[in-house]
A and B are shown apart, each in its own frame.
Chain A
């Protein structure tokens, strides 16, 4: 990983406390919080591993403050498992008297998973969560694949979204979930969303035999995973 950097800002704690105690504490109460995280790639396979990279995590936010964090990498290569470049992760969040929220973006270009089994010119994960007086909500608008191809399955041309939680079998490998969306919160006072644009689950079959025409099924075991383009956001009041 090259060119990695991270920055964040947050307001002085005493200012946040002062604001909370004087003006906006009834709205921006102690329970109010926002969270955000974004990373371009994660690899955990028998072929090799790489942690969340580049990882951007929203620093603590208090009072009526905001913060931003970002991280970048020029290239990543885990031989046989994943290669990619122009990796960027951004997250930001804010607490306000009328609205609080967080938004995160992760992207990766020139994606090649498992020696060409899955390729994409670019993947962008984009999520936001917001809480206002009327409720809490999240969405993944702006999450797309550019020229995605899965060997033996098909491809999409151009920059397009894919239906949430599209599950595709990868015979002999496992399966992949495209635009995997994991919501959280009650939709009233809290909401959160994680989107993993490409989530490969590696599996192997163990056991299972056939004797005299009588077969016993084997057991599928998870042996690893690869994630490309992951963004999370959450807001609670």
Chain B
């Protein structure tokens, strides 16, 4: 199952990759990344969904402890990442697709902008034609139901490769991971049910950390276009 597989492979790989990237040069790689083999069993289903949203979180307040471990995601502040607290604003749009051979989910195209206001750091991820603009690597993703049973979550930038973000306009590049949960699908939007999580290595920003899965202070997250 998708959730079990991520649980088995996610945390360790996250630690290795994020910590490794923290020690590397921030210049983006131009090589094509190999496709990781996350899946020990049959490949998981990949709903060809589209996700869009934006708003604000204020960690550590409004912590979504129930949903955070959904899909095998590691608990906050694990993998050697410190808390990333305070005002965070964001906007994103990702279109998912499935690898025809493995069934593995990847991002066909997308944009993700995240601003951590106390540190005055802005990250931007841009994905076109199935690869990250800043390192030419495939950005893998996963969609799974959350533990609360209220909806679904998407994780963009699975462990081993994560994804590469540009830091501010010219401060280099670093590995990041994004998660968003749509917990009021088709219902009246409630900021306190949708949630977002951001993890950054800090190799270029000096602002590495983990927000933990956090209910939105304002804004909305919508999974749309799912068959």
The reply to whether A103 and B219 form a contact with Cβ atoms under 8 Å apart is yes
For the complex, is B140 an interface residue (Cβ under 8 Å from A)? no
Of residues 85 through 101 on chain A, the ones whose CB sits less than 8 Å from some CB of chain B are 86, 88, 90-101
Inter-chain CA distance A9–B112, complex, in Å, is: 11
The reply to whether B189 and A128 form a contact with Cβ atoms under 8 Å apart is yes
The reply to whether B109 and A9 form a contact with Cβ atoms under 8 Å apart is yes
The reply to whether B93 and A92 form a contact with Cβ atoms under 8 Å apart is yes
For the complex, is A33 an interface residue (Cβ under 8 Å from B)? no
In this complex, what residue of A is CB-closest to B168? Answer: A3
Chain A nearest CB from B7 CB (Å) reads 29
For the complex, is A236 an interface residue (Cβ under 8 Å from B)? no
For the complex, is A39 an interface residue (Cβ under 8 Å from B)? no
For the complex, is A66 an interface residue (Cβ under 8 Å from B)? yes
The reply to whether A101 and B189 form a contact with Cβ atoms under 8 Å apart is yes
Note all chain A residues with C-beta closer than 8 A to B66: none
Inter-chain CA distance A64–B52, complex, in Å, is: 11
For the complex, is B45 an interface residue (Cβ under 8 Å from A)? no
For the complex, is B55 an interface residue (Cβ under 8 Å from A)? yes
Interface size class of B (residues with CB under 8 A): 35 or more
The reply to whether A126 and B219 form a contact with Cβ atoms under 8 Å apart is yes
Inter-chain CA distance A133–B186, complex, in Å, is: 8
The reply to whether B224 and A128 form a contact with Cβ atoms under 8 Å apart is no
The reply to whether B55 and A3 form a contact with Cβ atoms under 8 Å apart is no
The reply to whether B54 and A94 form a contact with Cβ atoms under 8 Å apart is no
The reply to whether A90 and B87 form a contact with Cβ atoms under 8 Å apart is no
Chain A nearest CB from B47 CB (Å) reads 13
Interface string of B190-223 (1 = CB under 8 A from A): 0100000000000000000000000011111011
Note all chain A residues with C-beta closer than 8 A to B110: 9
Number of contacting residues on A, CB 8 A?
55
Q: Choose, from A135-143, A172-180, A200-208, A210-218, the stretch at the interface.
A: A135-143
For the complex, is A186 an interface residue (Cβ under 8 Å from B)? no
Q: Which of B169, B188, B217, B224 contacts A74 (CB 8 A)?
A: B169
Inter-chain CA distance A98–B224, complex, in Å, is: 8
Q: Which of B95, B124, B224 contacts A70 (CB 8 A)?
A: B124
Inter-chain CA distance A68–B111, complex, in Å, is: 7
In this complex, what residue of B is CB-closest to A38? Answer: B91
The reply to whether A64 and B89 form a contact with Cβ atoms under 8 Å apart is no
Inter-chain CA distance A67–B111, complex, in Å, is: 8
Interface centre among A19, A86, A142 (most CB of B within 10 A): A142
Inter-chain CA distance A105–B58, complex, in Å, is: 14
The reply to whether A94 and B52 form a contact with Cβ atoms under 8 Å apart is yes
Binding site for B on A (CB under 8 A): 2-5, 7-9, 11, 19, 63-70, 72, 74, 86, 88, 90-101, 103-105, 107, 109, 122, 124, 126-128, 130, 132-135, 137, 139-143, 159
New A-B contacts (18) at CB < 8 Å, excluding given A94-B52, A105-B54: A4-B169, A7-B113, A9-B128, A65-B50, A68-B92, A68-B93, A88-B115, A90-B113, A91-B91, A92-B92, A103-B220, A107-B115, A107-B117, A128-B218, A135-B188, A137-B188, A141-B218, A142-B219
Question: Would you mind naming 18 contact pairs between A and B with Cβ atoms under 8 Å apart?
Answer: A5-B169, A9-B111, A66-B51, A66-B93, A66-B222, A68-B91, A68-B111, A70-B111, A94-B50, A94-B224, A96-B225, A98-B186, A98-B224, A105-B91, A126-B89, A137-B188, A142-B56, A159-B87
8 residue pairs, one from A and one from B, having the closest CB atoms: A142-B218, A96-B224, A3-B169, A66-B52, A141-B218, A98-B186, A90-B91, A64-B225
